Structures are given as structure tokens and as C-alpha cells.
Structure 1
């Protein structure tokens, strides 16, 4: 049985066609995440995020849905003004553990379903980042950021508070990462701990089980409890970690380590033979261990395929080696006979069941974006989103670079009338190994552009996932080549196929790699668009290499460090084409973006201003690579749509 529960609560009403969908609607949508099925299969707990516009932030609570009742309404379990996240079931299905900041910082709490108030499980001096409950509910696993040389948590807390008392303000570094994503390194590492649960439900002194490794568990900046798992008997934890050393910024060599939960032994490397990425350990009911693995070191967008290690024999086999799809998230059915996996597939993020005996994948959900899921003994509950409302959209294909098949989407604008032609918002996705597929995107939401009166065209150019690994690989070393041809041919194909698209009134917009591409278009397709929008885009490839943090990305895409292969960095360098720029451009950047530092935006804006090209610079002092705060999101969309209004003369 399959049960979808997310789309009805979060998706805008397709029937509400009398009102345009706006950014004010977008930021106020409720967002459902992290479904967790109770072990007995009766309930699913999930996190619901609502937007507090006055506080300019999202608020999260935990909700519960009874799966045994037809058309049951979800009920709210937590109502604290603080954020409640990460619901995790006790094995008896009668108690929920969760993370909450209601005490002032993130700690573990528990809530009995029979009634009563939530009670605190941990009272540690540091924030807890992730949580798992052991199969016997006798202990919990959790992560905290600590100084590796500290003997206890209080030592870390005292050291973190020390600089506030010092009049001198400086940082000293002897190795990278100096900063990562949006955070300056302060010397702490995320460590994995276990803590015994007493009879009264409180946790004892935490035991650091990963502290002997120079590594973050979970990984930074986005790792969570998918990075570690209890063995079925509860005696061990397996976690994914990359040994840092001085090579951390240019290494993707994550390995799986196994460690006793009582700390009686050191972590043991289970995947030392693979120099590439090993991730997401998942135990089957019989003790077999499944996980995701890549084959090529240094390539973050290599295909993740499923590996399986037998608990009985210790033998390891590549379960999905012949399946030409990259798994995003791995899970398992409770009986251990099949695995569950999401993977991009032809413009969708599909859900699959994988037979453990044969490795054969079977598609369970093929339309839309399965963003998360959980399993009971006889069903799968999944969170589903898509672009299907309120404006109409359609997938199309065309002959792109080298006459190869490329896919894209078109979306009609709000108020569409047959016989009329509409200006085009031509959205270019980032990554570049990502996709503007049939998904609900809060930062580049096609429905919001359609609500502003624009037809939307999106192209999954060479480099996008879901069309085979060779298609994904094809962009590396060719950032301004095949993708530009695909964009050119894709826009032309859309205009030829959909007469309501006004090809004379078009603006190209993109972020990250999409921002690079709009900068590249400015010099290499300069007369096609009436305006451009570049958000957090690369302007100078050479200085980008020396100021970004995750060097493995640039080194794979350009065939090595800049000082070893400078010609590759210059081959598709927008700064070299500034003399040909002439299209009005809106430049946007977050000052806390350490992936593509904001000096790239300053460079682009300087070039535009010096050349006398109409241009505007929008900087967000408190945003990183993404615009996340509700008020900033509203300002972003209003500024961008205003720029389109100004230049497309609707």
C-alpha cells in the first residue's frame, strides 16, 4: 500500500484560479517534512513548518496522523513557540522522542502518546544536532559540536564563550576549511555520542564514540541522522565520515565506520577499499548492511549505487551496479526483503522498491517529487510535491546538443487566454548537476513567476541528473558548451511548439551555476534577452577557485587545481567576455555565501557599471547561497519580478 500525505496540505489549490499565486502565498505555505512511521504501523509523525512573518522565521511543530482511520485528520502534538523537530519513535510505538529548543537550546525531549506533557530527556550544555533511538530504547545516539581536545561538554561551552570576553577579535588558521557554506570554522567538530536512558527516561552522561577520528559526524554542512544507524541488536553504530586532515577541502572520500555503542572499541573502517564516497548506512532486519557508494574519488555528482554486505558471510556485492540512476535517499522495508530509494528520473524524483535478492528496481511513484518517505510492514508513506497547481505546466523534449534528446518544461501564466502571447521567464537551474524538474522549489518557484503574469520555460540541459550518468557527466569541463547549446535549442523549440510564448520578450535568470550561465550568456548570447538576472553566480573562475571552500568541485569540473590547469579555468570564464556585455542585468548575492563569495557579484556589478550597462545590485547581508528568511524572500521575488516588468513591457 502507498499513502501520500504531504501534497494536500502544502500544495496551492488548483481550483483557486481567480487569484494569482504570489510570493506572499508562497512564503506562507505550510511545509511538511520528516515523516516517521510508528513501528506498529498505526501512526506517522511528521514535522509541519509554518511561517511567522512577524518574527521573520519559520516555526516547526510535530503532528500525528492515524493511518488506520480513513480520511483521518492530522492532529498537532506540540505547540511550543520554540521549534520542535526530528520525531523518532520508541520501539513500543507509545513514545515519541524529538528535538526541541524550548529550553533555550536544542535538546532531546519525549512525549507519551497516551497524554501528558513533554519531558526533557537531555540537559546538556551544548545544542544537539541529530537524534536516533536504539532498537531496544535503552540508549539514544546524538550529535554535538565539540572541541576534540575537550574532556567534557562544559569545556567546549566555556571555550566558546571565552572570545566574547576578549577585547581582541581575530582568528588564526593553520589548515582549511577556514569557512564552510555560511560558517567560519571555530575549531569544533560534530561528534557522535551515545547516552544511556535511565528508568525515569532521562539520559546519562554522553559517551563520545567518534571522538578518536578527525571527522564530522554527521557531515557538514547538511548531514543528519541519515549518516548513522544502529545495528538491529543495538550493540553497534555504523556512521559515514570523511577523515579531515589537510586534504578535507579536496576530498570526497567518506567511509563507513562501525563502533560499539558502549565505546569499548575504536571505530573500524568498513569501506577502506573504496577511495570515493560511501554514505547512508541502512541495516536490514537480518543484520545485512546496505549503503550508497560512488566509484570516482573527487566527483560529488558521481552515481550513487547500492552496496550490500552480508551479516552471515561478510561478502559485499554491488546491488544496483547496472541501474543507470543515482539514488538520493536509501531506506528499507521492515521485513528486509526490499530496499526503498528515491532517484531522479526523466524530470521527476521517483520512489523505487529494490529487490534485495536480485537488485531489480521497481517504480512505485513516478510523477512529481517524492521528497521523503517512511515504511511500515505493509505500506510506504511518502511526502509528495509537484508543480501541478495552480498554473498549468507541461513537459516537452527536443533535439539538443549533438541532436541528443533533452527535456524541458513550459508553464502558462496566470490569467492565460488563448490567442494571446506572453513574456518569458527563462529559468536556468544551478548545480550544475541538478534539475528544474517537476518539483516544488521555494527559492526559484515557477508558479510564482507564472502568478506574476509570465510564461516560464525551464530546460534540463546536459549535466542534469535523471537521464543517465553519461548525460550528467557530460557537463564537466564543458560548462559553457553543451548546456548553452541546449538552452538555445530548447528556448527555440519551446517557442516553435507553444505559440503563446512571445520570443521577443524574454529574460534569462539563474542562480549558482545558473548565475554563471547568465554571466556567460551576457558575453556569448548577448542579443537574445531583454534582461538578465544573476544570483550568486560565478563571474571570474580563477578567483572563484581561490576563494571557495569545497575545492573538490572546481578541481573535478576543471580537471585539477587552477595552478596546474589554468587554461581550463579560462576556457569558460565570464570575465573574459565583459567587452561583449550589453544586456541589462540584475545582480543578487548573499554576503554569507562562502560557496560563491559575494566578491563575484561585486565584480560583475563593477563590470556592468564601468561599461555603462543598466544594472542593479541587490545584496542580502544575512543570507548565504540561498535566500531563506521570509521577508528577504518576499523582497527577492518582488525585486526580480519588478525587473522583469521593467524590461519586458507587459
Structure 2
């Protein structure tokens, strides 16, 4: 591919046009490796998923195995080697096509040689599925309307609602929305499809749930998470249900006050269930995540990482395929990287990689080889192969879908010490022509979360379009970031707009001592929690010449009442009727009179995580106080702007705004705005 030009629009076109690797699935025979890949559709307004086959030995080129306008995703293999996936592609079989067919995703099966066939259809679509590796039993999640006794009744009720043009929902309890979608009136249920073709609804999952599914290898047990609707979330955030896969009879329910469970997987012998356990951040206790093992027979729950303090957030567990082997592999942030770790049967944890960010782990049948996706901040994801036990190794790259060409900058590190003595680090990205003779202007880019880290490639709000325009970009990991031990969470507890903000400013100070950085021309741009930090900075400092806030909180009191994570936000900040301190300390809107820096506000109209009222309040407050402000509004986008054409407009507007205020250039309104 030709070298990327210095124009940020050209750079975004190259990066957005590059296929996006999002997941892997390994066949039981170990000879087929399937990668999920997203590409831009012909209209340029959405990404379409597809499946590619990668040679595990790395000897032949990858080939595409599915093709449809709607796309295919969530690959998994049946024991007989059939590739299974979800797709909204049209069912063309006249013998199985029904009047209740919908555009929702169905479950499809594709033999190695032959045509794909749809094996499960649900009138509202299927959201997730899993396969029993020893039996071929399938469990899947699909929604059912209240009062519907079975799928047929659900289809009838759904058709009546559509015919009557009814979209209203009557809620008896919350939540009412999650992510970028309204919840209800249908609720997620777990279904089991047996190898003989019969299927059964084995249990409801509450108003939120679905996606966390597991089957024992012999297909006799199904496990799923279930939200406890209407209960105090501090008592039970969610529970794990282990049920008979044939009858739905509940065998065990695992729960712990104030905890969430995610990413369930049975061990190869079916005797244990491994899960991620997340202790919710509250007013008095920091965030903490570990891996646990459940014993369905005794009801015991065992912490698998009781003394491991690398970070508070281990990723999805992958268990050994060898019966009786208690080895577990997982990923987790560590000081600007996201390595692969191995927990041996004796509890010893070994880091298998020293650099890069890994995800989507797959393990070979004999437990000696791993496959994964690997990226870095300056390299998009590739498919790689690893030894399953060797420490701090370099992976073998099997496939990179496309070469983006040389990036317009270089990545380095900066270190400093916080005001409490804690060591801090960040990634500065420097444009290639930055030097003491031509110091680059700086944009500080705090991450979202706040429980996140700058550790790998991002297809979201990332540094490279800024670097292409000539800006240095600072990617800081302040208090509440993952990858720095539990102490990093503790020092940020109750400090939502305090210590993390000060950490970022100290990392910015350390970066600006470089002679290739122009400390007199700086801006700040942040998304989500980074957008909140941008709003907080606007009321605390005048060091920046321009601030971009994208999907960030402005009024914490109204935010906690409106967000889809209402209970979570109230646990962090307190009940505003009785615990006012954190709202009064950390809510930027209370200090609007101190704001003077020109701001660009970016928000999506369907953002339920940080509702658009936060942006409207900020925009109106700044106008009332005569602070220069612009508002870039995407009516159809949610918390993150995702459509490629919209992301292009996002970068164009943000960079033109920074050029105007940071560099003193003439303001150029994007042509399509």
C-alpha cells in the first residue's frame, strides 16, 4: 500500500477502509481457524461483518468463507466441524421459510464443503449462542414477550403489536434501556437446541442479560446469567444460574452481594464453571475484578486469582480442553499493554507475552498452542500463534488483513510521579517531523471508562488522525486506569474529577518539557469519561487553547438520574438527597463561571450511557456565560459515533476546531455541515 499522506482525512480513509479483525474461533480438529472481519459497506455508512479462514500453520493465504449483504458474525464450531454463526441473511429455503421470518439474526450452519443452512430462527432474532463441544447441543438467547407461553405465541403477540403500530412499553421495574437500545417489552430467555432437532425454553434471564451462556461439554447442563429485576443492585447485581439443559430445572444459583458475573465457560470435564466476577465500584469500595470457579455439585465458589494484583480487570477466561487439567488462560491490562497470562493448576500465574494487547484467545485441543488477536497502539490487530506455556515470548503472525502503511508518527513513553508519590506513565505520539526546531502542538487525549487503559489499537477516538494533522498526542493512564494494580483504583476512589485530573495534568507537564513539544499550543480532547475530564478541565484551568468534549458528563446529579447505569452511578456518587459532597465537588456545571476556554461539544442523540441532555446543558450554559462554543450533534448515533461517514465528519470538525483555536488558523466549517 502506498504511503499515507499527511492529510488527516486521507489517513482516516485508509484506517477506516482497513478490515477490522474482531474475533477468532478454532475448530475441534485444530486445522481450521476462523476470523471475524468487518468491512465498510458500499454506501460508506456502516460496517458489515464477514468470516475468513486463516491457516493455523501460516502456510497459505486467508480466504473468505461467507458472503452476504447482511454479514455473518459470532463464529463457533460444532463437534463435527460445521461452522456455526449468526446472520440476518435471508432464508432462501422454500421448505423452511415461514410467514414469521424476520430480519433479525438467525443461527446458521456451514459445512466445510457445501451451502449454509439456517438451523434456528426466532421471530425477534437471536442475540447469542454457544455449543457443547462434546455433544453438539446448542444454547441460545432470544427474547419473548410477557405472557407468551412459547415461541409461537410470542410470534403471534409480536405480529399483533406490529399490525396495530404499537411500540409502547409498560415497565414494572427498571432498567428501561441499556447501551444504545431501549429494553422491552420482550425479555431475554435461554433456549436449548438438542442434536435431534428438538428445542426448549429453559428459563428467562430478566430484563437485562443474554450473551453470558455456557454448556457443559456433554450438553447436560446450561449456565446463564440473570439480572434480578427490581431488586436493590447492591444486594444482587446479577446471578449465575446452572440448570438442566433438557428440562430447565435449576440445579444451582450462584450470587454474591454487589457483584456481577460475566463470561461463563465450563471446564473440559464439566465439573466446574469458570467466570469473571466483578465487584462493583461503590461509594466506599474500589472496583475489583477476578476470575472464579463454581462447583455445581457442592455450590462452592473459589477465587482463582486471590493474590494477583497486576490490575483489577482480567479478561475472558479460556480453559484447558484437556479433561482434568485446571489450566486457565486470560488477558489483562498491564502498564500500557494487555498481555496473555496462564494460571497453572497449582495457581501459579505466568505472563506469556511482554508487549502488545491481546484478545479473543483460542486454545488447541492438546493445550499446547494458543491463537489470538494482537495489536499495539501503533499497529492494528493481526492473527497470531503462541506457545501456551512459554513466558514473555514473541508471537508468530499468521495473518494481517491489510497493511495500513506507515503511520504519521512515532510512539514513545513518558513517566512522572503523582502528587501522592505514585508512579505514572503515558504514551506520547509524536508526528514524524517534530523536532526542537519544529516543536509540535500537543493534544491531551484522556481515555474513557474510567476503568480502561491505553494499551492497544483503537478504531474509535484515537491518536493517528491528530498526528497526521501535525499534532503530538498524549495518551495518559491516570488514577482509576487498569493495569497498575489495585492501588491505582484505591487512590482514585471518590476522586472522580480530582486525582485522575491531577495525574493527567502532571503527565502533560512532564511531556511538555520535551524540546519537540510546543507547550504554548496545547488542546485537550476526550470521549466518555475522557469527555468528563475535558469538562472538568474547562472549569479548573486555562492552560488549554481549545477543549473538545465528546459524550462526557456535565451535571453529575442529572446524569445519575438519567443514565442507563443509574444504580451504578448512584453507588459511585451517592444519593443526591443525602450525600451531596461528591456532586458538589466533582460536577463541572457548578463551576461554569470559571470556564473560559473555547469548547467543541460532540454528542449522539441516542446516547443512553451519557444522555444528550448533558451536552445540551453544557452548550446552553457556555452560551449563557459567553464562552465560545460549538455543538456537533449526531441525532442517530449513540455513545460512540460509529458510522464511517459520521466518524469522518467527527474528525474533520474536531481538527478544524483545534487548528482554529490552537494554531490560530482560519475557521473552516466542514462542507457537509
Length-normalised TM-score, structure 2: 0.86
Q: Following superposition of structure 1 onto structure 2, how do residues 569-584 of structure 1 map, counting pairs within 5 Å?
A: 569-584=583-598
CA distance in 2, matches of 1:297, 1:394: 32
Which residue does the alignment assign to 2:49?
Answer: 60
Per the TM alignment, residue 624 of structure 1 is displaced from its structure 2 partner at its CA by 0.7
Which residue does the alignment assign to 1:184?
Answer: 182
Per the TM alignment, residue 176 of structure 1 is displaced from its structure 2 partner at its CA by 1.8
CA distance in 1, matches of 2:291, 2:347: 9
CA distance in 2, matches of 1:438, 1:168: 45
SS of 1:209's partner is strand
Q: Following superposition of structure 1 onto structure 2, how do residues 435-584 of structure 1 map, counting pairs within 5 Å?
A: 435=453, 437-496=454-513, 498-525=514-541, 527-558=542-573, 560-584=574-598
- Are the aligned partners of 2:332 and 2:339 in contact in 1 as well (CA < 8 Å)? yes
What 5-or-longer segments of structure 1 have no aligned partner?
Answer: 1-12, 219-223
- How many residues align structurally? 614
- Are the aligned partners of 2:202 and 2:245 in contact in 1 as well (CA < 8 Å)? yes
Length-normalised TM-score, structure 1: 0.89
CA distance in 2, matches of 1:419, 1:410: 19
RMSD: 2.3
- What do the CA deviations read for 1:210-237 (whole angstroms, capped 9, x no partner)? 22x535442xxxxx3xx12111222101
Per the TM alignment, residue 282 of structure 1 is displaced from its structure 2 partner at its CA by 2.2
In structure 2, do the counterparts of structure 1 residues 594 and 17 end up closer, same or farther at CA, with 3 Å as the change threshold?
A: closer
Which residue does the alignment assign to 1:331?
Answer: 318
- Are the aligned partners of 1:408 and 1:457 in contact in 2 as well (CA < 8 Å)? yes
Q: Following superposition of structure 1 onto structure 2, how do residues 418-429 of structure 1 map, counting pairs within 5 Å?
A: 419-429=437-447
Q: Following superposition of structure 1 onto structure 2, how do residues 324-363 of structure 1 map, counting pairs within 5 Å?
A: 324=309, 325=311, 326-335=313-322, 336-356=325-345, 358-363=346-351
- Are the aligned partners of 1:35 and 1:374 in contact in 2 as well (CA < 8 Å)? yes
Which residue does the alignment assign to 2:292?
Answer: 307
Which residue does the alignment assign to 2:247?
Answer: 263
Answer yes or no: is 1:609 the counterpart of 2:623.
Answer: yes
- Are the aligned partners of 1:176 and 1:246 in contact in 2 as well (CA < 8 Å)? no
In structure 2, do the counterparts of structure 1 residues 63 and 589 end up closer, same or farther at CA, with 3 Å as the change threshold?
A: same
- Are the aligned partners of 1:240 and 1:279 in contact in 2 as well (CA < 8 Å)? yes
SS of 1:545's partner is helix
Per the TM alignment, residue 625 of structure 1 is displaced from its structure 2 partner at its CA by 0.6
- Are the aligned partners of 1:421 and 1:502 in contact in 2 as well (CA < 8 Å)? yes
Which residue does the alignment assign to 1:8?
Answer: none
In structure 2, do the counterparts of structure 1 residues 610 and 295 end up closer, same or farther at CA, with 3 Å as the change threshold?
A: closer
Q: Following superposition of structure 1 onto structure 2, how do residues 200-215 of structure 1 map, counting pairs within 5 Å?
A: 203-204=197-198, 206-211=199-204, 214=206
- Are the aligned partners of 2:40 and 2:48 in contact in 1 as well (CA < 8 Å)? yes
Answer yes or no: is 1:120 the counterpart of 2:126.
Answer: no
Which residue does the alignment assign to 1:30?
Answer: 19
CA distance in 2, matches of 1:537, 1:273: 31
Per the TM alignment, residue 399 of structure 1 is displaced from its structure 2 partner at its CA by 0.7
Per the TM alignment, residue 149 of structure 1 is displaced from its structure 2 partner at its CA by 2.4
- What do the CA deviations read for 1:489-511 (whole angstroms, capped 9, x no partner)? 11110111x21111111111112
In structure 2, do the counterparts of structure 1 residues 495 and 118 end up closer, same or farther at CA, with 3 Å as the change threshold?
A: same
Which residue does the alignment assign to 1:369?
Answer: 357
- Are the aligned partners of 1:141 and 1:195 in contact in 2 as well (CA < 8 Å)? yes
- What do the CA deviations read for 1:93-133 (whole angstroms, capped 9, x no partner)? 3x1111111123311111111x2211121233230111112
What 5-or-longer segments of structure 2 have no aligned partner?
Answer: 91-102, 380-406, 666-673
